[in-house]
Structure 1
Amino acid sequence: MRNMILAVIGLLLLGCSGGQSSNSTMTVSGVAATGAAVSGTIFLKDSAGHELSMATTDGTFSFDVSALKPPFMLKASWGGKTMYSFAAAAGTANITPLTQMIVAAAASSTDLDAAYQAPSPTTFSTIAANLPAATANLRNSLKPLLASYGADMDPISGKFSANGSGMDGLLDHVAVTSVSGTVSITDRSSGATLFSATASPALANSVSAMNWANDSAAVAQDPDLKVSEAGDGLAVWWSYTGTGYGASVIQARWLNSEQSATQISTATGFAMMPKVAIDGNGNAVVVWMQSDNQLNNVWVNRYVAGSGWGSPKKLTSAVSSATGPSGVPSIAIDAAGNAVIMWNQSDAAVSSHFDVYTSQYSVANNAWSTPAMLSTGTNSAYGYKVVANNSGTAAVIYNQFQRTDGRGGNGDASDIWVATGTTAGGFATRTKVSSSANPIYGQGSLAIDPAGDILAAWIQNNNSGYFDVWASRQPAGGSWEAPKTVANSVTGECYSPEVALDAHGNAFATWEQQLDTEGRQYVAASHYSAASGVWDAPAEISENIGNTYDQHIAVDPSGNATLVWYQIESAAVTVRSAQYLQSSGWGISQLIATMGAAYDGYTVFPVPRVAVNSSGKSIIIWGTGSM
């Protein structure tokens, strides 16, 4: 709306709570704009199908609706384009891309042309009834974006000026599109997707990257992310505080409510690789490794909703002094806040020997248990992850070498083990879930659903000489099923599998797939149906515009998935995402960020992460890694 003269006609409304006016004229007025003022025709229809129209060159409009029957639907038409808004009664009703999103959500349809062309009292009354909730939902979903422009106002009834700030500044810099029932907000200058959601149900299955940017990613080393039930994302990362060894701290930031980060580690030592978990009440636990006299130890800090962060605590001081440095920890939490962490610890007395340890946090006791060894202590163990569901069922996965001299390395035979238990009671049952027929490459992944179904995946050699994705499933209360090959490759290796489950036992597996014949690498995925017990044929998710790396997936309870990765393209390194919807399957990839010249994708690279809550709200961030 640059250089636009904004005129908002004053409203004198009969019968409103503010009192009755002596002037009987009632108007619907506002501004139509998309970032520039609409120069075209504005239409208004009432619920009885009566229509008014007027021309505008500066986007402003006003209709006398004294003789019409509310509610009213509005349409802006210019250059073969249309855009809609709605007014439950006389008053201000702007027409912008955001009002179109609201009306589509209230109507549970992106086909607003049909609603306007064939108006009915039922359709209009439905939109009017849903409009307040749809407006509140959009404002809540876009809160970080609106706040960054000082535009946290009702997009329909709010008033704004054409001065390049506030709502005007927002519309100048973003574009809103609707394709096949999905609405998206993109940055006009970069083309990056800031937000997308389905119009029906209203703004559901949302994916947001609007509260993060490359300047955040530049200081965020190896971030992790979770989304609270309230929809707020908690990002944690490590950042340098100086030069040289021993100068880094752990930072945490609530994305919707905080613009600045909070240091949650001590200021001494080298703190890195944090992991975060959030319980059902918005409390959080962050775990990381931190140097202590050149040896890494496991540290934790808790966030209590309403109180804030506590003091950092070192956990591995309770382990025997005979042990060596700790590895990167993994964490899981239940709905009540009971947590489990897992890490590996080297043995100072045996070369190349590692054991995996666990510790549990009890909400009732407000204390961590003494770290306990989970592996045998004889066979070296590595490659671990812990998961838990809301009810407290927990499981851990790790890789263990078969040789019993305490050592292990590349080329040595190993197995995938899963231990099951609870967040409160630890892990009593250990099961070898892989077949010993072919060598294991490791890279295990684990997922659990609300019922307690557990899914494990790993990389294992096939008879063609390549490493494939294998998986095994344990139904709740049942036994582990025989391993199945998810991806049987005869053209290249599979790497870095990741699995996730929905609330009904259906699953996704995703991995990096090489194609030796074409010399490229792409993101692949397969869907598992709990009803049939079958994995779908692997699908190529990323577009063939460059090699892909570091893919991660988040799945909501309904089975919708969001996948992120980074890609080395011909002109730049990018972060991209794709979404799987139950109604339509995999969509095309979306650009999330284009990295600067310092990122070559090999020595300096983005680190993308995605998380989702039980309502289906996904958030994407990305950080920086280096070699």
Structure 2
Amino acid sequence: MDRRMKGNKGCIGFGWRFIPIVVLLLAVLLFTGCPPMELRKFIEERVEEANKGHDTSPPEVISISPLDGAKDVERELNITATFSEEMDEATINTTTFLVEDGANAISGTVSYNSSSKKATFTPDNPLELLKTYFVTITTGVKDLAGNGLAQEKTWSFTTRYRRWTEPEKINSLGNIIEELQIGMAENGKAVVVWEDSNNIYSNIFSPNPGWSGESWVYGTADTLSNLNLSVSSTGYAFAIWEELSTNDEISAMRYNGSSWEEVTPPFGSDTNPTHPSIAVDDDGNAIAVWELNDGNEFGIACSEYYGGTWNEPYNLSFSSYDRQFSPKIASDGYNYIAVWEDWTIEGIKARRYDGESWYDEMSAYDMEAPGIAMSPEGRALAGFVDATTWTDIYIRIYDDGWQGSGAELLISKGQPNNGWIALNATPVYWGIVEVGDGDIYVNRRDSAGNLWRDPSDSEWIGYGWNPQIAVDDSDRVVAVWEGNDGITFSLYNPDEDFWSEPVVIGQWGSYPQLAMNRDGFAIVVWIDGSDIMASEFME
């Protein structure tokens, strides 16, 4: 008896308990005269229906897209999961097929294709840039027999970030480019200026339609030098430069949002003004600073442009026996901070202008080569080099007053050649420096005073020259430099606390200049012989 039962089960594929049902079906079908092939098909269908209730094997997810851990995934995509067997469509929905960004659920629609056994989640909107997403298929999804997954299926992937466009030439004349500067407004509009054969030219970028084309701004028979540009968050711009003649003079032009206008300041040549720097506020006003030397005094002078006119220059600092030089100035849209070298203290001085008055704010002894950057929140980052060893980069931070009792060491990797500083709204404070024969190092300090790396262990991100750095309000950092293979880029992703492998934006070129707004849109321009090339960091 046991052998017959086992033989029946092994031969026709269903259990002993179903034989009475089959015998009854055979009797009915033979009595009605059903053809043999149709009879066989009918029996098989009835047996399959009977066996469904006895399928206890859980379904499995056998393939997914994107793959687990995938990087650089496109933002507009369908997220899919393919099952090992046909599933109950009613159980596959937005409560059992979940996509999250770590904090929030992503809205979308879920569909199921029974032929391919594939479930698809389609987001309602493009996913965010450089974001890690987490996908869950819960045990609530079931096959046709009612079996759920044995356990949840989970995976994650990371979307791509912005990409650099193909480099394009933005100047038309084929002369020798001497100096190049770029600045950007918060809406992504960028202003580029350069000096070419004693003439100042410009090109304006707007997110739509793009580059406006080269335009002539200013020309002279004198040699031009020390071109400096400032662009406000609202789109005003000032360009200022030095004209080298018997007695140096300083000239300036103002971009009012649609065209350039000459606003030459009253910087008399009798004081030999040199090395000008300028900052513009959100209302289109500006302050210029420069070195002066009348033969008796050495100082830092300034003049304010307000309501369409410059006021008479006055001294921020002066000395009858030692030099003041290398002034730099920045604005947060309303306030200004100026820094310069002061050899009377063998260090750096800084003063802050609050819209009405200047205040003596900060001194950093035994420092030189100052730089200054400000954020719209009113914070500032000053950077400089140790004048005694010429090996270390120090910073001072202004946040409703200068923080700490002295300069803080940021990078200590050897003799610095070129460096750049940047800050954002968070705030985080970054520095980048070219050291020695071309090693590029970075480090940062957070708002609590913590350093990302020990200064002597600052992060190496590539090899090259003339680095620049910018940070957006999501704490993502863009660094560009002149590398052996061309203009090179690396990106810091705060979610992974990692700098990407260097990527070449454009072959050949030198002196890259970088501008970025708070959303992370950036443009880099550089000199390639007699050409000015540009690339945009687009979504």
TM-score, normalized by length of structure 2?
0.60
Secondary structure of the equivalent of 2:271?
coil
* Contact 2:431/2:469 (<8 A) preserved: yes
The one of 381, 385, 393 aligned to 2:277: 385
2:184 aligned with 1:278, yes or no?
Answer: yes
Give the deviation of 1:315 after TM superposition: 2.3
Separation in structure 2 between the aligned mates of residue 617 and residue 425 of structure 1, nearest angstrom: 38
- 2:394 maps to 524
Secondary structure of the equivalent of 1:470?
strand
- 2:496 maps to none
Give the deviation of 1:581 after TM superposition: 2.0
Alpha-carbon deviations, 1:152-205, whole Å to 9, x = none? xx97679xxxxxxxxxxxxxxxxxxxxxxxxxxxxxxxxxxxxxxxxxxx99xx
Separation in structure 2 between the aligned mates of residue 612 and residue 438 of structure 1, nearest angstrom: 41
* Contact 2:297/2:320 (<8 A) preserved: no
Give the deviation of 1:265 after TM superposition: 1.7
- 2:102 maps to 106
Separation in structure 1 between the aligned mates of residue 124 and residue 447 of structure 2, nearest angstrom: 24
* Contact 1:503/1:559 (<8 A) preserved: no
Backbone CA RMSD of aligned residues: 4.2
2:372 aligned with 1:499, yes or no?
Answer: yes
Give the deviation of 1:438 after TM superposition: 5.6
Larger Rg: 2
Percent identical pairs in the alignment equals 14
2:438 aligned with 1:573, yes or no?
Answer: yes
The one of 462, 469, 472 aligned to 2:351: 472
Separation in structure 1 between the aligned mates of residue 368 and residue 463 of structure 2, nearest angstrom: 24
Give the deviation of 1:608 after TM superposition: 0.5
Give the deviation of 1:510 after TM superposition: 0.6
Structure 1 residues 617 and 32, CA gap change in structure 2 (3 angstroms)? closer
Separation in structure 1 between the aligned mates of residue 97 and residue 407 of structure 2, nearest angstrom: 55
- 1:358 counterpart letter in structure 2: A
* Contact 1:26/1:90 (<8 A) preserved: no
* Contact 1:434/1:483 (<8 A) preserved: no
2:343 aligned with 1:461, yes or no?
Answer: yes
| Structure 1 unmatched runs, 5+ | 1-22, 36-59, 72-86, 94-102, 108-125, 143-153, 159-201, 204-209, 212-231, 233-255, 404-411, 596-605
* Contact 1:472/1:484 (<8 A) preserved: yes
Give the deviation of 1:470 after TM superposition: 0.8
2:383 aligned with 1:510, yes or no?
Answer: yes
Give the deviation of 1:299 after TM superposition: 1.4
Aligned pairs for 1:262-273 (under 5 A) are 262-273=168-179
- 2:207 counterpart letter in structure 1: A
- 1:251 maps to none
2:226 aligned with 1:328, yes or no?
Answer: yes
Separation in structure 2 between the aligned mates of residue 133 and residue 383 of structure 1, nearest angstrom: 54
Separation in structure 2 between the aligned mates of residue 432 and residue 63 of structure 1, nearest angstrom: 80
Separation in structure 2 between the aligned mates of residue 455 and residue 461 of structure 1, nearest angstrom: 19
Separation in structure 2 between the aligned mates of residue 535 and residue 26 of structure 1, nearest angstrom: 59
Give the deviation of 1:281 after TM superposition: 2.8
Secondary structure of the equivalent of 2:416?
strand
- 2:203 maps to 301
- 1:609 maps to 468
Separation in structure 2 between the aligned mates of residue 590 and residue 542 of structure 1, nearest angstrom: 9
Separation in structure 2 between the aligned mates of residue 387 and residue 63 of structure 1, nearest angstrom: 65
- 2:534 maps to none
* Contact 1:280/1:335 (<8 A) preserved: yes
Give the deviation of 1:374 after TM superposition: 3.7
Separation in structure 2 between the aligned mates of residue 374 and residue 579 of structure 1, nearest angstrom: 40
Alpha-carbon deviations, 1:221-260, whole Å to 9, x = none? xxxxxxxxxxx7xxxxxxxxxxxxxxxxxxxxxxx351x2
Structure 1 residues 510 and 527, CA gap change in structure 2 (3 angstroms)? same
- 1:48 maps to none
Aligned pairs for 1:410-559 (under 5 A) are 413-422=297-306, 425-428=308-311, 430-436=313-319, 439-450=322-333, 452-462=334-344, 467-475=346-354, 477-482=355-360, 484-485=362-363, 487-489=364-366, 494-516=367-389, 521-531=391-401, 533=402, 536-543=405-412, 545-559=413-427
* Contact 1:300/1:312 (<8 A) preserved: yes
* Contact 1:276/1:284 (<8 A) preserved: yes
Give the deviation of 1:471 after TM superposition: 0.7
Give the deviation of 1:398 after TM superposition: 1.1
Separation in structure 1 between the aligned mates of residue 410 and residue 125 of structure 2, nearest angstrom: 32
* Contact 1:340/1:386 (<8 A) preserved: yes
Alpha-carbon deviations, 1:493-518, whole Å to 9, x = none? x22101122334332211111334xx
Aligned pairs for 1:38-437 (under 5 A) are 89-90=96-97, 106-107=102-103, 126=104, 136-137=127-128, 140-141=129-130, 256-258=163-165, 260-291=166-197, 296-317=198-219, 324-347=222-245, 350=246, 353-363=247-257, 366-370=258-262, 372-403=264-295, 413-422=297-306, 425-428=308-311, 430-436=313-319
Structure 1 residues 399 and 62, CA gap change in structure 2 (3 angstroms)? farther
- 1:608 counterpart letter in structure 2: P
Give the deviation of 1:559 after TM superposition: 2.9
Give the deviation of 1:303 after TM superposition: 2.1
Separation in structure 1 between the aligned mates of residue 210 and residue 368 of structure 2, nearest angstrom: 39
| Structure 2 unmatched runs, 5+ | 1-56, 72-80, 109-120, 137-157, 483-509, 512-526, 528-539
* Contact 1:286/1:300 (<8 A) preserved: yes
Secondary structure of the equivalent of 2:406?
coil
Secondary structure of the equivalent of 1:315?
strand
- 2:429 maps to 561
Structure 1 residues 614 and 434, CA gap change in structure 2 (3 angstroms)? farther
TM-score, normalized by length of structure 1?
0.53
Separation in structure 2 between the aligned mates of residue 434 and residue 391 of structure 1, nearest angstrom: 27
Would you say how many aligned residue pairs link Structure 1 and Structure 2? 379
- 1:418 counterpart letter in structure 2: C
Structure 1 residues 488 and 129, CA gap change in structure 2 (3 angstroms)? farther
2:463 aligned with 1:594, yes or no?
Answer: yes
- 1:111 maps to none
